[in-house]
Amino acid sequence: MEKLRFFVVSDSVGETGDLAVKAVVSQFRPHFEQVEIRRFPHIHEQDHLLQIISIAKKQDAIIIYTLVEKELRAALHDLGVKHNVAVIDLLGPMLDLLESKIKQKPLELPGIVHQLDEYYFEKIEAVEFAVKYDDGRDPRGILLADIVLVGVSRTSKTPLSQYLAHKRYKVANVPLVPEVDPPAELFMVDPKKCFGLVISPGQLNNIRKERLIALGLGEGATYAQHDRIEEEIAHFYQVVEKVGCEVIDVTNKAVEETANCIIDRIEQEKML
């Protein structure tokens, strides 16, 4: 059986070309017997192309390339013709077609798809983190988080955590009630990444009444009474003063507004 050799030449890691070769070869040799696939990643110089062509000619290898730079693609094609080496351009035809169709030049930046993948997985990780450490379920998350939110019930801690998670921030949130001591981890965290959320007693009263009604409970429950709300807010201020964190008034603020305020503070801190 003749041995098949493939060289995958890429200006990134070569994963796309590698997968394409395997998809095609599997139609002829499902168990990849007598098949060799060799990657040449991060190729950006024409001198490197000449070296690869020389090796491919000696080993009778087929070159598959995924190069986004037009000059490199053209150079490898010409070298293949000149030295009688089989070369196959995977990206070029589609890049040229789209450029012609939408009248827009490609960025020609290698590895963008992998950067997007990394962004996606960071977001998923942050969302899972926010769910795991929501509502003080596990105080260990406080020390692992990028951002820690503290506040009384119904100050938008959970939706704010999820919104920030979609911006790739790992967020833990901690509810504060007078009858329960805050977790010790809250007082160990860097106060610059901790934010207290407060709301006007009147608005909180309305929100809690609506919540009780939605649950099928009477709106006169202690949870929504003004005295109870004042007690919780007083306790909140005692805790955040001890933590030393910034307090944000979320009264009449959309989640996006509060999130942008927090992101600005966090990013400014990184620059210091």
pLDDT tens, position by position, 128-153: 999 999 999 999 999 999 999 999 99
Instruction: Judge whether residue 92 has pLDDT over 70.
Output: yes
165 beta partners? none
For residue 120, give both structure tokens: 């996606």
Q: Give which of 127, 47, 52, 128 is closest to 85, Cα–Cα.
A: 52
Instruction: Classify 4-110 by CATH class.
Output: alpha beta
Tell me if the pTM is above 0.85.
no
Instruction: Judge whether residue 268 has pLDDT over 90.
Output: no
**What is residue 270's predicted lDDT score, i.e. its pLDDT?**
78
Q: How many beta carbons lie within 10 A of that of residue 96, not counting itself?
A: 14
pLDDT bracket for residue 272 (50, 70, 90): low
Instruction: Judge whether residue 217 has pLDDT over 70.
Output: yes
**What is residue 116's predicted lDDT score, i.e. its pLDDT?**
65
Q: Give which of 15, 23, 75, 66 is closest to 45, Cα–Cα.
A: 75
Q: Check: CATH 3.40.50 for 115-271?
A: yes
pLDDT bracket for residue 187 (50, 70, 90): very high
Kindly report, as residue ranges, where domains of CATH 3.40.50 are found in the chain: 4-110, 115-271
Mean pLDDT over residues 71-99, rounded? Answer: 96
Q: Which helix (H) or strand (E) holds 40?
A: strand 35-40
Instruction: Judge whether residue 113 has pLDDT over 80.
Output: no
Q: Provide the annotated binding site for ADP.
A: 151-158
The single-letter DSSP state of residue 149 is E
**What is residue 118's predicted lDDT score, i.e. its pLDDT?**
76
pLDDT, greater one: 177 or 112 = 177
Q: Provide the annotated binding site.
A: 151-158
Share of the chain above pLDDT 90, in %: 83
171 beta partners? 147
Share of the chain above pLDDT 70, in %: 97
**What is residue 269's predicted lDDT score, i.e. its pLDDT?**
85
**What is residue 71's predicted lDDT score, i.e. its pLDDT?**
95
Q: Which helix (H) or strand (E) holds 119?
A: helix 112-132
Q: Is 241 exposed, middle or buried (0-12, 13-18, 19+ CB in 10 A)?
A: exposed
Looking at every residue in the chain, the average pLDDT score rounds to 93
